[in-house]
A and B are shown apart, each in its own frame.
Chain A
Amino acid sequence: MQALRPAVSRLAAVSWLVLLSASVSGQSTPDFTGVWAPYRGGRGADAALAAPPATPLVLKPEYAVPFETRRKTEAEAAARGEPIASGAVACVPYGVPRMMSVALYPIEILPTAGQITIVAEAFSEVRRIYLNKPQLPIDDVPPGYYGHSVGHWENGTLVVDTVGIKTAVPAYQNMPHSVRMRITERLRLVTADILHDQITIDDPVVLEKPVTYTLAYRRMPGYEMVEFVCDNNREFIDEKGGTHLRVRER
């Protein structure tokens, strides 16, 4: 194992040089700066601009069975009016990748030298994408909500690689995932004011094959982000995990 380390280091250095050369080769990079709101499909939407359908979510059998059992339990609890609480009920932030699309809340993209910062209005979440740097080995990233993200440009598309997401952080459709999960995003302008983020999740422990879905956004010129501090949370969670509203008597 020790003997492999110099080779791994050389590979990482070569990868970094390739990324660096791409960044200085004069390729134009579109400007994502600004606030973007989710652009949903449905009535009145331009189908050509809406997000394309996702690929199937295919879990390995040992994860698929408990996943389906959990979904059935969740449906029964919802029918009773006691929906099973997610972390968000306790105002725990979503993390990557779910923070990229929370209901109707916008995100703000802030490019600076060597970095792109994304602020999500819901729960005031922040993620940082470091440009033209090699990715760290997964085992070197402490599992967290945002992990470690690196990005580079490929012909006008921002390609982002994220690792280091802890297993308690929700992913696509609340699928289970391991710390081996790798998230690849490809952000590109479909038109001047429509942005797509194609997200591919790969997890060799949990998934039979990677799942890919796309988020669509519309530009919101002039929008000022609204603060979101979760200081009046009236929802509470019972001993079975069900969600309830605390009703006041007066």
Chain B
Amino acid sequence: MRRPVCAAVVSAGLILVAIPARAHHSFAMFDMTKRVTLAGTVTAFEWTNPHAYIELDVTDEKGATKHWSIELGSPSILMQGGWKFKDLKYGDKVTMVVSPLKSGESGALLSSITMPDGRVLGNGPLPPGGRQ
């Protein structure tokens, strides 16, 4: 039984999003002015470099399932924000806020996530002194 889905663009204005600092590529692929809330089921959690990924199935009110690939920072950056490699597994139910790809494909950059145990994690830490 998959969790009912909530996938909505909550704002199209300029929003400051806590994002990992750029190391591998520009974040211009993603529309950082948008934040979309996704609630779904984890199909894979890849703790890898240069990025970690969450693969997510999101089912809408009519029962249709859409698959999303969510990009995170690297393990190092995530660990600085409190993540562990075994924080997620297949079948976990999560809710996350993401910035979607400008291309319209179902890929996005993680902003924050509510974990199965209720913890809320970001996509890496804020550096001392605030955002870069």
A24 contact set on B, CB distance < 8 A? none
Given A232-B53, A245-B69, does the pair A81, B23 have CB atoms closer than 8 Å? no
Q: Which of A43, A44, A229, A246 is within 8 Å of B49, CB to CB?
A: A229
The answer to whether A231 and B49 have CB atoms under 8 Å apart is yes
Contact call B67/A250, Cβ cutoff below 8 A: yes
> How far apart are the CA atoms of A103 and B132 in the complex, in Å?
9
Instruction: Assess whether B46 is in contact with A44, with CB atoms less than 8 Å apart.
Output: no
Given the known inter-chain contacts A232-B51, A245-B101, please indicate yes or no for A42 contacting B24, CB distance below 8 A.
no
Cross-chain contact of A249 among B30, B48, B67, B77 (Cβ < 8 A):
B67
- Tell me, yes or no, whether A122 is within 8 Å of chain B by CB: yes
Tell me how far the C-beta of A224 lies from the nearest C-beta in chain B, rounded to whole angstroms: 10
Determine the chain A residues whose CB is within 8 A of the CB of B23 once the complex forms.
88, 102-103, 105, 122
Q: How far is the CB of A170 from chain B (nearest CB, A)?
A: 13
**A83 B132 Cβ-Cβ under 8 A:** no
Q: Is B74 an interface residue (CB 8 A)?
A: yes
- Given B26, B67, B129, which contacts A50 in the complex, CB threshold below 8 Å? B129
Chain B residue at smallest Cβ distance from A43: B130
Given known contacts A226-B76, A232-B53, A234-B51, is B129 in contact with A88 (CB within 8 Å)? no
Q: Is the interface of A mostly helix, strand, loop or mixed?
A: loop
B-contacting 9-mer, from A33-41, A133-141, A151-159: A33-41
The chain B residue with its CB closest to the CB of A84 is: B26
**Are A81 and B53 touching (Cβ within 8 A)?**
no
Given the complex, which residues of A lie within 8 Å of B30, measured CB to CB?
A: 81
Number of interface residues of A (CB under 8 A): 46
Q: Which residues of chain A are near B77, meaning CB under 8 Å?
A: 103-105
A102 to B76, CA, bound (A): 12
Q: B20 to nearest A CB, angstroms?
A: 7
Q: Output the least CB separation between A218 and chain B (Å).
A: 7
Contact A226 B128 (CB under 8 A): no
Interface string of A223-250 (1 = CB under 8 A from B): 0001111111111000000011111111
**Which residues of chain A come closer than 8 Å to B79, judged between CB atoms?**
226
- B102 within 8 Å of A by Cβ? yes
Interface residues of B: mostly helix, strand, loop or mixed? loop
CA distance A80 to B104 in the complex (A): 12
Which residues of B41-55 have CB atoms within 8 Å of chain A's CB atoms? 43, 46, 48-51, 53, 55
Could you tell me if B101 and A40 are in contact, using CB atoms closer than 8 angstroms? no
Question: Per a CB cutoff under 8 Å, which of B29, B49, B69, B127 touches A83?
Answer: B29
Q: A20 near B: Cβ within 8 Å? A: no
Which chain A positions have C-beta within 8 A of B92?
A: none
Q: How far is the CB of A75 from chain B (nearest CB, A)?
A: 9
Q: Kindly report which residue of chain A lies nearest to residue B129, judged by CB atoms.
A: A45
Minimum CB–CB distance for B72 against chain A, Å:
11
Closest A residue to B124 by CB, please name it: A104
Taking each of B20, B53, B128, which has the highest tally of chain A beta carbons within 10 Å of its own beta carbon? B128
Distance between Cα atoms of A68 and B67 in the complex (Å) = 40
Please list the residues of chain A having a beta carbon within 8 angstroms of any beta carbon in chain B: 38-45, 50, 77-83, 85-86, 88-89, 91, 102-105, 121-122, 218, 226-235, 243-250
Q: List 16 A-B contacts (CB under 8 A).
A: A40-B128, A41-B129, A42-B127, A42-B129, A44-B128, A81-B30, A81-B102, A82-B28, A91-B50, A122-B76, A218-B128, A231-B49, A233-B50, A235-B25, A235-B50, A250-B67
